[in-house]
Amino acid sequence: MSAEEYIIYTDGACSGNPGPGGWGAVILDGDSVQEISGSADETTNQRMELQAAVEALRHVPPGSKVKLYSDSAYLVNCFNEGWMKRWLSNGWQSSKGKKVENQDLWELLFELAEINRVEWIKVKGHADDRYNQCCDKLARGAINKSQNKGAGDENLSAEAEDTGKFKTKGGRKLRRIGLLTGGGDCPGLNAVIRAVVKGAGYNYDIESIGFNNGFKGLVENDAVVLDDYAVSGILTRGGTILGTSNRDNPFDFRPGGSDYQETGVDRSSDAVENLAKRNIEALVVIGGDGSLLLAHRFSKLGVPVIGIPKTIDNDLPATDITFGFDSAVTTATEAIDKIHTTAESHHRVMVVEVMGRHAGWIALQAGMAGGGDIILIPELPFKYSYVAEKITERRRRGKKFSIVVVAEGAYPAGEEPIYQQKGDVKRLGGIGTVVSREIEKLTGMESRATVLGHLQRGGSPTSYDRVLATRFGVKAVELFQKGHFNEMVCLKGNQVKSVDLEEAVQGTKRVDPDSELVRTALAVGTSFGHLL
Ligand code: F6P
């Protein structure tokens, strides 16, 4: 979280109407949590709710971005439904024609809301929200103090008097877990974030701190507190609410985050320091091989880390499946289905290039699911003559179109994979167009190539990925709670387990040409452009 972003919780309380009242607020700015409170002798509950918001907003520098959580529907609705505009034009009349009370505080509040960017959010209330509960206690503590009754129960006094650090019920120090999403995004990242935050909060009262934009946020100390509300409604959303980056290596950090800068700086010590400053006990890294390798390097520096394997490529050896893979395969399959109908209409050979880096998992599974006639994967370097033969043989049997699914990392025997060069950076891609061109040359049939590209990384996760991501997130929290660090969660058979991170970052999982999956594809007549 940058210095100008705040999360504020407020609450008011009153013993009587009117009667002695109090207000309390918790202000989170990422690094620290500030608690403030105050009281009034003869007041009302509504005045105290408003006073809490006024005082809390006075504590943030003008121009701040604020998320303000309150259990007062009246307060939140006023801002979200534009009541003030109505009140100004109708002489402070409520919708029931009554005079709006507490005009002085409303005006102050509107002024403060205007100079800050405030998002008003309704919380359910004390039973459901830890921070709201704390505000309520602060407010009641303030009433008691003003009435010379002392601060009430022990827990309350511990919380009300501690202005530096938020403490959980019973005065225990708050535990914190850090998390970040690194590398290329994929469907299911938000589901994991949600599972970690909810799993940690509900079960162990552990607070989650999310670093923005992968390891960049860790180096630059850019983070947000993730509570129940921050992760509400994200289970089904693609992408990552934290942002990600596949180019910010803290050990070789390039200030502009650019691939094209020549020299990098080792900023790993800043990253370690930032974790310590925020009292984060362990870092959960949700990433593919690159991010997990970085996590492993941090573990060597003494940072307790926990890995969660993600990638659409499914190429991590220590887990049977990574989340994101099923969603990518589903998207690619839907695309192949659509390509099928146009191929049939035009009697064409349609080539579909899918992602997967140097592993053919997406091509194989989507190719099989979409009924691809030819599937080209990096594990089986192909020959154009075999590809053409299969198409010609199909035509002889009256099949006037063919579907070729090609993995971006596939290549003809004796040649190299095709890369696109951008500055110093090489990314796989382009084989689809080359295959399509060669097919036209060798068969005389019309061919078109479609590159699915980043479509495969976007959109909502499948139900399988949502469940797997949730299982992984909860398991990571369990590892944290047990103090099992420097491990990666994984799926073995149908069991979620964990493996040593050291082991998890070794090698690449690729398709075994002799596997049952490949043999099944062959058994239904699929060609791999290879003599198998
Ligand atoms: O690793 C995921 C992946 O989508 C690969 O399948 C693909 O080769 C690569 O990332 C693309 O990376 P970028 O998002 O940098 O183009």
What residue segments make up the domains of the chain, in order of their start? 5-154, 172-323+461-493, 330-457+513-523
Q: Residue 282 — φ and ψ, nearest 5°? A: -155, 155
Q: Give nearest CA residue, ligand 1 atom 8.
A: 357
CA of 360 to the centre of ligand 1 (A): 14
With bands split at pLDDT 50, 70 and 90, how would you rate the model's confidence at 169?
Answer: very low
pLDDT at 167 over 70: no
Neighbours of 320 (CB within 10 A): 14
With bands split at pLDDT 50, 70 and 90, how would you rate the model's confidence at 350?
Answer: very high
CA of 329 to the centre of ligand 1 (A): 14
* pLDDT for 157: 30
- Is the pTM higher than 0.95? no
| 8 Å CB contact between 346 and 403 | no
Instruction: Tell me if 5-154 shares its fold with 172-323+461-493.
Output: no
CA of 198 to the centre of ligand 1 (A): 29
Please identify, by atom number, the ligand 1 atom nearest to the C-alpha of residue 408. Answer: 8
* pLDDT for 127: 66
Lowest mean pLDDT among 64-78, 145-159, 512-526: 145-159
User: Per-residue b/e over 163-174, b at no fewer than 16 CB within 10 Å?
Assistant: eeebbbeeeeee
* 313 given a catalytic annotation: yes
pLDDT at 178 over 50: yes
* pLDDT for 5: 87
Q: Give nearest CA residue, ligand 1 atom 16.
A: 427
Please identify, by atom number, the ligand 1 atom nearest to the C-alpha of residue 409. Answer: 8
Please identify, by atom number, the ligand 1 atom nearest to the C-alpha of residue 315. Answer: 1
Query: Both tokens of residue 387?
Result: 């590809």
Mean per-residue pLDDT, 321-332: 98
| 8 Å CB contact between 181 and 189 | yes
Q: pLDDT tens for residues 467-494?
A: 999 999 999 999 999 999 999 999 999 9
Residue among 181, 357, 422 whose CB has most ligand 1 atoms within 8 A, to mutate? 357
Q: Using a 6 Å CB cutoff, which residues line ligand 1?
A: 184, 246, 288, 311-313, 355-357, 408, 427-428, 457
How far is residue 325's CA from residue 311's CA, in Å, rounded to a whole number? Answer: 6
* pLDDT for 260: 55
Whose CA is closest to 447, among 374, 526, 532, 380? Answer: 374
Is domain 172-323+461-493 given the CATH code 3.20.20.10 in the classification?
A: no
Query: Both tokens of residue 434?
Result: 């080359």
Whose CA is closest to 166, among 13, 26, 10? Answer: 26
* pLDDT for 258: 55
CA of 236 to the centre of ligand 1 (A): 22
CA distances from 521 to 361, 374, 394 (A): 13, 10, 16
Mean per-residue pLDDT, 228-236: 92
Class of domain 330-457+513-523 as given by CATH: alpha beta
CA dihedral 114→118→123→128, nearest 10 degrees, is -130
Q: Residue 311 — φ and ψ, nearest 5°? A: 170, 140
Per cent of the chain over pLDDT 90 is 77
Please identify, by atom number, the ligand 1 atom nearest to the C-alpha of residue 428. Answer: 8
Please identify, by atom number, the ligand 1 atom nearest to the C-alpha of residue 429. Answer: 8
Residue among 247, 293, 313 whose CB has most ligand 1 atoms within 8 A, to mutate? 313
H helices of 243-346, in order, are 268-277, 289-300, 325-346
Degrees, nearest 5: CA angle 250-252-258: 95
How far is residue 284's CA from residue 487's CA, in Å, rounded to a whole number? Answer: 10
With bands split at pLDDT 50, 70 and 90, how would you rate the model's confidence at 261?
Answer: low
How far is residue 460's CA from residue 6's CA, in Å, rounded to a whole number? Answer: 29
Q: Give nearest CA residue, ligand 1 atom 12.
A: 184
CA of 420 to the centre of ligand 1 (A): 12
| 8 Å CB contact between 23 and 134 | no
CA of 342 to the centre of ligand 1 (A): 27
Neighbours of 69 (CB within 10 A): 22
With bands split at pLDDT 50, 70 and 90, how would you rate the model's confidence at 168?
Answer: very low
Q: pLDDT tens for residues 379-413?
A: 999 999 999 999 999 999 999 999 999 999 999 99
Q: pLDDT tens for residues 76-128?
A: 999 999 998 899 899 999 888 899 999 999 999 999 998 999 999 998 876 67
Residue among 185, 246, 292, 452 whose CB has most ligand 1 atoms within 8 A, to mutate? 246
* pLDDT for 171: 45
CA of 359 to the centre of ligand 1 (A): 12
State the catalytic residue, choosing from 313, 315, 326, 373.
313
How long is the chain? 532
How far is residue 21's CA from residue 18's CA, in Å, rounded to a whole number? Answer: 8
* Fold of domain 5-154: Nucleotidyltransferase; domain 5 (3.30.420)
